[in-house]
Amino acid sequence: MTSPTDPDGGPAAGFTLIEMLVVLAILGSAAAILLARGPASSPALEARGAASELAQALRLGRSRAIAGDRAVPVVLDLATHRLTLDGAPRPTLPGSVALAAVMADGSRPTRQAAFVFAPDGSASGGRIALGAGTRRLVVTVDWLTGRIGVDAN
């Protein structure tokens, strides 16, 4: 029996059915391993994302206070990780991120940390420590200027 040939008389180029099935089996096995592993998560990335979300909400609160010429509260529920800006809910921070707050007056709230931004841009002040795994970040609110900062701790 002769092997298949192309119109020019040479051997036909291409893959056999067995070769294609082997490749598909390898790809299927690799996909199954990746899917079984689940979504990739990193405690450091979760802490950084939570700090970014918190800082964004605080900055937005300060901007609204200045633009609207009124006091605007930003409240973080330390137990449920819920964040509200001027009474409106914001995305909930990841539950795997530990939260602790210290207000400008030195108090350490255990339930809610409330930051109030005044129309002149100042704020009640304080800081919130976020931690996940070995990653520690601190979001600060300067009481005099209302400036929001995120620092690694």
Token pair belonging to 29: 């096995």
Segment 9-63, tens digit of pLDDT: 666 677 889 999 999 999 999 998 888 877 777 888 899 999 999 999 999 999 9
For residue 37, give every residue at least 6 positions away whose Cβ sits within 8 Å of its Cβ, in sequence order, or none: none
pTM: 0.74
- What whole-number percentage of the chain has pLDDT above 90? 75
Token pair belonging to 107: 């108090």
Q: Which domains does the chain have, with CATH numbers?
A: 43-152 (3.55.40.10)
pLDDT computed for residue 133 by the predictor: 85
